[in-house]
Every structure is written in structure tokens, then in C-alpha cells.
Amino acid sequence: MANQSQKFLKRYRWKELGLFIIPFIILLLIMFQLPLAQYYETQLRSNKSQVPLTLSILPTIHDLIPIIGLIVALFLVNITISFFYPKADQVLLPLAGLMSGIGVMMATRLGPNAGDPNLGTRQLAWVLIGLVACLATLFVLRRMGWLRNYKYIWAALGIFLVALTLIHALKVKNFDSPNHDQLNFGPFSLQPSELLKIIIVIFFAAYLDETTRDVFAGSSRRIGPIPVPPLDKLGVLGLMLGISLLLFLGIRELGLALLIYGIFLTMLYLGSGKISYVVVGLLVFFVLGYIGYLIFGYVRARFAAVTIDAVNWQNWTQATVDYVNSLGGPRQVLEGLIALANGGILGSGIALGHPGFVPVVQSDMIFTGLGEELGLAGLFAIIGIYMLIIYRGYRIAIEASNDFSQLLAAGLTSIFAIQSLVIMAGNMKFLPLTGIPLPFLSYGGSSVIANFIIVGILLRISHNTAMEREGLA
């Protein structure tokens, strides 16, 4: 018994536990700051006498449940992985846990503004389910080969999700308005696109691993300086891409189209190593985007919002004012820019800003809410954490022992990169605003679960790689 305890302590993931401690302290301090901020706001609103500072303003156990629950869950996951998968990457999960904690904290903070005081508790529930999904992924994927061998089954599942979503979208009468891909099952809801993006990467990685290194990279046919891959090989990828992009036509969601096409170009480049394919793909994307711009009025409205001069608002014409205040206008984006400007360099402080003025700030515009209360410095920290997550993912891909694992890890990591870039740029009016969630931070169950499934796959790949290098696999 003593020997087993010593072996467990020797292989315990102490580095991961140490990286968890700092996020735990930060999250607890933030939760204690929330009632202090409310006390400060009460003081400002008091006209006659100073409000007494007593211990009663400190958070109760009920108030701390979201963060304490997350800390306990992450600690239990740390112990479980240490026991079964000690060789897995020790940096990725603490980073994902920190971002999820910030997401739970912001949901708790913004719940009353969104008319739902239990928003933080529900976000915690989704994170806990996500952690269970992460562990389940680690246990199920003992060997990565079966993901590659059953690629066409994954493709069929992706097509089924597309068909299911399109059938639901056809029930919407207004064809020219965006419709989020949300399927309701009683009290539960599911966004198929969150699972579809993982399925697409698995299929692309498996297919490219089977055909690409010699076929795509060694293609001798050219149109001018551009190499042309065999159409029969490229056609399968194009078919899967086209079926996935049917979601854009069905649910009219620009962000989903950007994400899926971005994944396609990333995987094509990773598989072939030729930047010319990406350049041609971008040209095709611009042509398709222009066609979508001509067909869909809501796409034109999203692009028109980018051109609004938010700084010189005094020069707006009445037509511009009417457009800003119209249904589906750029008011949400402009409110978000005001929130960012109000945050300045260091931010107004947690619970001292007014991010609730921004419509749907808990999901679509969470980046602006963080910007107002954490400031530019806080946003740089958030971006830095995302960059560390992306770095760890690509490092796992580089160190993987086979082409399929490399392509899969790099493709899944690219989801985090593309999705974060698209929604951040939309919040800051650099790109048209889209409805895709910011990974780990935005409120929503499907997104959180899908993100932790990705983390589970990356941890499994890193563990398998380490075991193979040590000859233990």
C-alpha cells in the first residue's frame, strides 16, 4: 500500500496542480470583490450618510458555490488524470480551467443584468459537464486509429447534423434573417455546429493522412504557377466542405461559414504544405462572400455596421441615426465599442462597469464586457492566455508521433484560433459581428462541452505521444 502511494505521488501532476493554484486565488479574490463593488456603488448612490462597512457585505457560501464548485471539480480532474494519464500535457488544462473560471465569474456577474440571477450557476453546470466530457474523451480514445479508420462514419454523422439543422431552419419564415443553429429538446438545447466543427477536423485529418503527403504535395499539374491537386482527391474534401457550408444557407450565420471555411483552408495547408492552395482558397472565399453579400440582406447589414463612424457620431445624418436604432442595426456593436472605450487601460473594475447595457453581452459580446471591467491590460491578458492555449495545442501537434495525430491536434487547435479571432474582431468592429461564441468565456452549454472535448483529445494525443517515446505504449 505504501509503495503504491509512493508511486502515485511520484507520477502526480504537481506542475499542473501548481498552475491551478494561481487561477484559484484569482477567481476567489474576484468573487470577494463583487460584493465590495456593490457596497461601493451603494455608497455612491447614498446622498445623506455613509453606508456602514460590515462583514455582512462579504459573499455567503451560496454566493461562492460557482467558483468553489469549479475549483473542486478541477482538482478532482487533476487527481483523476494523474492516476490514469500522468504523461498528458500539464499546461493545457489549467489554461482552459482559468478561462472557464472567468466565464463562470462573468456569467455570475452579468446574470442579474440578463434577467437571470442563476446564470453563473448554470454556466458552472455546463463547465462540470464539459469536464466530464473531457475525461470521457480521454478514456474512450485509448487508440487514435479508430477515429481515422471510421472517417466516413464521422462524415455521415456530420451530414446528419447538417440535415437536422437545416430541417429546423426551414421552419423559420424570415429567410433573410440569421437564425442560430439551436435545437431544443425539452429543457435542453444543442448547437449542432459545435459538434460539427470537431467532426469536420476529424474527417479532414483522416482523409488527408490517407491521401495527401504524396498526392497533394507532389501534384505536377499546374495552372500557371499554381499547382492543381487531383480533382478526384480534392473533390471529397470539397463535397464535405460544401455540405457543411449548406448551414450558411440554411441558418444564415456568417460566423459559422467563416469558421468552417477557415478550418478547411488550415487543414489543406497542413496536409499539403503549399501556401498556393490557401491563396486560391481565399480568392474563392471572397467570390463566394460577395455572392452571399448580394443575396442576403443581413450580410449587407453586417458589413454596413463595420463602416459606421462611431467616433464622429455628431456628424451622423438622420438616416444613419434611424439605421443605428433599427431592428438588426449596428447598435449592439456600437454599445460594445462604448463599453471598451469606458474601460480604458486598466478597466473600471469587476462589477464597477455597466456591460449590461450591451445587448447579449453574456454570449456574443462577452469580449466587450471584459474590456470594460478589465481594461486594455485585461484584454491583452485574455488574448495572451488564448495564445498560450494555441501554442500548447500546436506543440502537442508537432510532438505527435504520426501524421494523423499531428493533423488532428493542429486542426482542433486551429478551431480555437479561428473562432477567437473572428469573434474578437467582430466585437471590435474590425469584421462583421457573428454569433459564434468566444471559447470558454461565452455563456452556452454546447460550446463549453465541445471545447472540453477538444481539450480531452489534445490531452489524449500528448499522453499517447509520451508513452510511445518511452516505449510504454
DSSP assignment letter at 320: H
Measured CA distances, 84 to 140, 202, 243, 397 (Å): 12, 24, 39, 21
Measured CA distances, 285 to 223, 279, 398, 414 (Å): 19, 10, 28, 18
Nearest to 4 by CA among 80, 87, 83, 89: 83
Query: What digits encode the pLDDT tens for the residues 41-71?
Result: 666 666 545 656 566 666 677 667 777 888 8
Instruction: Evaluate if residue 138 carries a pLDDT over 80.
Output: yes
pLDDT at 91: 92
Burial of 300 (0-12, 13-18, 19+ CB in 10 A): middle
HEC states along 223-279?
ECCEECCCHHHHHHHHHHHHHHHHHHHHHCCHHHHHHHHHHHHHHHHHHHCCHHHHH
Average pLDDT, the chain: 79
Confidence of residue 170 (pLDDT cuts 50, 70, 90): low
Q: Which of 42-46, 259-263, 270-274 has the lowest mean pLDDT?
A: 42-46
pLDDT, average across residues 298-302: 75
Residue partners of 398: CB distance under 8 A and separation at least 6? 406
Please give the grid coordinates belonging to residue 252.
444564415
Instruction: Evaluate if residue 276 carries a pLDDT over 90.
Output: no
Measured CA distances, 100 to 54, 78, 117, 424 (Å): 31, 15, 18, 17
Measured CA distances, 207 to 85, 238, 408, 458 (Å): 28, 12, 11, 19
pLDDT at 17: 86
Query: What digits encode the pLDDT tens for the residues 197-226?
Result: 898 899 888 888 877 655 555 555 666 555
Q: Which of 42-51, 83-92, 292-301, 424-433 has the highest mean pLDDT?
A: 83-92
Which residue in this structure is represented by grid cell 491537386?
229
Distance (Å, whole) CA 423 – CA 177:
19
Burial of 48 (0-12, 13-18, 19+ CB in 10 A): exposed
Q: Is 371 or 187 the better-scoring residue by pLDDT?
A: 371
Q: DSSP secondary structure string, 350-391?
A: TTTS-GGGSTTTTTTTHHHHHHHHHHHHHHHHHHHHHHHHHH
**Partners of 226 in the β-ladder:** 223
Angle at 448 between CA 418 and CA 184, to 5 degrees: 110
**Dihedral Cα 145, 151, 152, 156, nearest 10 deg:** 120
Helix (H) or strand (E) holding 4: helix 2-11
Nearest to 67 by CA among 96, 117, 116, 30: 30
DSSP assignment letter at 402: S
Confirm if 96 and 389 have CB atoms less than 8 A apart: yes
pLDDT at 414: 93
In degrees and rounded to multiples of 5, residue 145 shows phi and psi of -60, -35
